[in-house]
Amino acid sequence: MASMTHAPIKFTLGLAAVGLSAFAFAACGNDVPSGAVATVGDETITQDEFDKWLQTAAQGQAQGSGASAVPDPPDFEKCVAAKKKLPVPKGQQSPSDATLKKQCKTEYDTLKTEVMQFLIQAEWVQQEADNQDVKVSDQQIKQSFEDQKKQAFPNDKAYQQFLKTSGMSEDDILFRVKLDQLQQKLTAKITQDAKKVTDEDISEYYDKNKKRFAQPERRDLLVVLTKTEAQANKAKAALESGDSFKQVAKKYSIDEASKAQGGKLPAVTEGQQEKAFDSAIFGAKKGELVGPVKTQFGWYVFEVDKVSPASQQTLDESKEAIKNLLRSQGQQQALDKWIKSFREDYKDKTDCADDFRIAECSNAPKEKTNTGPASGGNPGDAQPAPQGGTQTPEQ
């Protein structure tokens, strides 16, 4: 029978694990106060917060590479010095300071964007949760954290080692788990009214998509494929004299897949095979030895071993799968509509200092037209933190 899967709905704002640095810029321009990188409504994202998460992002990105220095603009002296200590592959020249400085700048620009996305979107989610009276308790956060910790680490020693190398503290991880929990609860609240699916909706979908619930006739074959017609005739003669398909396929067949199965080619439906072979298959009677049939692959001798008639799944049999599908689609549509409005509203409230403008800012750089992925990247992606995925569970 045809099967239908219940696709999960998604609400992902790129709340990623990021990392940290000890330097600072003077945030200037716009309405962003000194010592801050951005404002979201009445809330301020401070330079210290940015530096902290930049340090974490840089440390997580550098795990295993040995270059853990945070890119330090504008001269990137520490970053260049750290890179100069890295071993140079045999046969290659050491890169120049100018090349290393360029690498550091590229890394910094990438990390800066990822950290700003994280901090801004985290503020958006927390403010929206407050506006909608969505709360998550400390106990819920702790329980989710412990569950994920058990899955991610074999023992506490491995977890402690992760904390040392990732640049994240347990409080940082708990903060990310909190954001994930808030997103899940927001999603549930936004989509709760979209769960209603009527019998009429189900019947209408079934009538329009009957083919999706149908199973065509299937035929199980026993086959021998040879390179030449002469070889096919020899194989057919052997079969007619009483040899089994397993014996004959082993001796004559050039099709390794069916040969390994004793000549079996199961569940063939009409239209799958080359036209001449397809016509012969569905024109043959069960148990009838047919061939040789010429194809682009060679010559077939075959027998239809089993016929499974076409079938149609009934409305009653399909009802639950259709209901789940339509409910999921309705929830995702409601969520997509809400997210579009959510992003527009909060972007209008978000001002960024001149050196920290990204797509999520109301004063975003003009050359960047993308408002940022709803399934944003994962700064510090090498970190197997018990962070809580940002994909919501099925409703």
Q: With 60 as the cut, is the pLDDT of residue 3 above it? A: no
338/369 Cα distance (integer angstroms): 20
Residues 6+ apart with CB under 8 A from 59: 19, 20, 68, 70, 165, 166, 167, 380
Average pLDDT over residues 312-324: 91
**pLDDT by residue (tens digit) across 170-198?**
999 999 999 999 999 999 998 887 778 89
Q: 217-309: which CATH topology?
A: Chitinase A; domain 3 (3.10.50)
pLDDT for 90: 87
pLDDT for 119: 96
Q: With 80 as the cut, is the pLDDT of residue 1 above it? A: no
Stretch among 26-30, 88-92, 329-333 having the lowest mean pLDDT: 26-30
Confidence band of 277 (pLDDT split at 50, 70, 90): very high
Q: With 50 as the cut, is the pLDDT of residue 158 above it? A: yes
The share of the chain scoring above pLDDT 70, in percent, equals: 83
pLDDT for 152: 92
The share of the chain scoring above pLDDT 90, in percent, equals: 63
Q: With 90 as the cut, is the pLDDT of residue 59 above it? A: no
DSSP state of 375: T
352/374 Cα distance (integer angstroms): 20
List of long-range contacts for 338-341, beta carbons under 8 Å, 24+ apart: 338/190, 339/11, 339/374
Average pLDDT over residues 231-238: 94
377/386 Cα distance (integer angstroms): 17
Q: With 80 as the cut, is the pLDDT of residue 263 above it? A: yes
249/300 Cα distance (integer angstroms): 11
DSSP H helical segments within the chain, as ranges?
A: 47-61, 77-84, 97-131, 138-152, 156-166, 170-191, 199-208, 229-240, 245-252, 256-260, 275-283, 315-348
Residues 6+ apart with CB under 8 A from 138: none
pLDDT for 388: 35
Phi, then psi, of 309 in degrees rounded to 5: -60, 155
In this structure, what is the dihedral angle of CA atoms 344, 350, 351, 353, given to the nearest 10 degrees? -120
225/250 Cα distance (integer angstroms): 11
pLDDT for 192: 85
pLDDT for 60: 77
Q: With 80 as the cut, is the pLDDT of residue 75 above it? A: yes
Which residue type occupies 297? Answer: F
More confident residue, 59 or 10: 59
Stretch among 91-105, 281-295, 332-346, 357-371 having the lowest mean pLDDT: 357-371
The overall pTM is greater than 0.75? no
pLDDT for 209: 93
pLDDT for 7: 37
Which CA distances in Å does 201 have to 164, 196, 205, 244, 395?
54, 10, 6, 53, 19
pLDDT for 19: 33
Q: With 80 as the cut, is the pLDDT of residue 102 above it? A: yes
